Structure 1
């Protein structure tokens, strides 16, 4: 995401330049291509755990130029642990920050131009260098954490203990059992809307930005939540979630990140 701010030439391929239907995601396939990425990544061994919240509660945590998306009458917040692999646009790796564990707390929003995407309430990573770069250059709310991802058969144990910046005390523990793959016929608008997102937003010092994200359709599996003890959502300012969450697992996707672009203000008064 280190490209200079400017026009969109060269970012999109010949496919639809709109970035998806405003206000929602109806397909698991990205509607554009990124021909000249600024960074490539792989998101691997990833679990989506989503809880429904009152939209008014989530809106208080989102900047005024974005609107929280409502699906089935609720705003959805995801706890998403995974293993991150980072490389340059050409695929070159930098060993100190190439591979690490990460856990995101995220919700889903639309900007003033009707473009849907992700707003991160927090991102925890086990590589301090990655945290420093992401905070300084991309204005993303990263935290340095001790993390682990351990797999035994079809069970995965994710652990996170936030270390810095202070005050940063928060922990998360999640254990899931991976089930059978979901077929295309079993994936509807809700599954796509909570997983297949092609844009992320950030804000700092009055500057609002967006970056497009391309990847293949998610190969999603059923998953059972065996144990969860999470405090990252409450550390982000949310109440303790209630009710059974939606849980999906994916072995991963390869990702291309486009340059950061200006994102217009406005929307809420």
Structure 2
């Protein structure tokens, strides 16, 4: 594991800024990742994001993404993963922001499969984790929460050997922000570049009670699949 993390930490040519000088705090793997991307109106998106953060855009367009994956092997530095606590399915709804010209993501919703990891994640990260029922197979993913429902059936298509500008803009993000502060501090993350594949959606039903008014979740503008990345992260 140590050699593997050293390999991740020394692969930095793709990053837009240097990794932190401090020692990393978290290790985790994001596996079998489904990305569904939607364009949204700036005015409607602005209502959902703290004004301490600037909305990020590409070629004048603003985006929200549903990201469904399996979290694996999560543990802190100098500890080891525990099966029940370290492995669970997760779905987040995120948008794209920046602060002091550093681009990152801001989570509108995070839902996780297991109750205890959800509580621990809330406590340690301060991110808006909620517990939901989640199941997945090799070509399907389903979630049932108090205010959300997701059913996806898909096929993985060809690999994107030359990702476009927007493919990279939507996926290659190396920090996240929490809201509410006048001067938000980025939570830094690092991993090797995403290995992206096209995704053929066979059926799709997504309902977010809080966000249906601003996004037509039935019709993503772009979709990606990735086998996943191994991630190191730093505490705030």
Whether TM-score is above 0.5 comes out as yes
**Does the alignment pair 1:171 with 2:149?**
yes
Question: Could you tell me how far apart the structure 2 residues matched to 1:114 and 1:149 are?
Answer: 37
Question: Could you tell me how far apart the structure 2 residues matched to 1:45 and 1:33 are?
Answer: 25
Partner of 2:195: 219
Aligned to 2:19, which of 29, 33, 44? 33
Aligned to 1:99, which of 87, 90, 94? 87
- What is the aligned-residue RMSD (CA, Å)? 2.4
Question: Could you tell me how far apart the structure 1 residues matched to 2:173 and 2:214 are?
Answer: 25
Partner of 1:267: none
Shift of 1:206: 7.1
Question: Could you tell me how far apart the structure 2 residues matched to 1:15 and 1:224 are?
Answer: 31
When normalised by structure 1's length, the TM-score is 0.76
Partner of 1:79: 66
Structure 2 stretches of 5 or more lacking a match? 1-8
**Does the alignment pair 1:251 with 2:234?**
no
Question: Could you tell me how far apart the structure 2 residues matched to 1:207 and 1:131 are?
Answer: 27
Question: Could you tell me how far apart the structure 1 residues matched to 2:182 and 2:116 are?
Answer: 25
Shift of 1:89: 2.2
Contact 2:38 2:215 in 1 (8 A): no
Partner of 1:181: 159
Question: Could you tell me how far apart the structure 1 residues matched to 2:82 and 2:202 are?
Answer: 35
How many residues get paired? Answer: 225
Which secondary structure does the structure 2 equivalent of 1:219 belong to?
coil
Question: Could you tell me how far apart the structure 2 residues matched to 1:225 and 1:128 are?
Answer: 29
Q: Which 10-residue stretch deviates more, 30-39 or 100-109?
A: 30-39
Q: Which 10-residue stretch deviates more, 190-199 or 132-141?
A: 132-141
Judging changes above 3 Å, is the alpha-carbon distance between structure 1 residues 239 and 136 closer, same or farther for their aligned structure 2 residues? Answer: same
Contact 2:52 2:181 in 1 (8 A): no
Aligned to 1:161, which of 126, 140, 144? 144
Contact 1:14 1:32 in 2 (8 A): no
Task: Give the ranges of 4+ consecutive aligned residues of structure 1 lying more than 6 Å apart after TM superposition.
Answer: 13-16
Shift of 1:30: 5.7
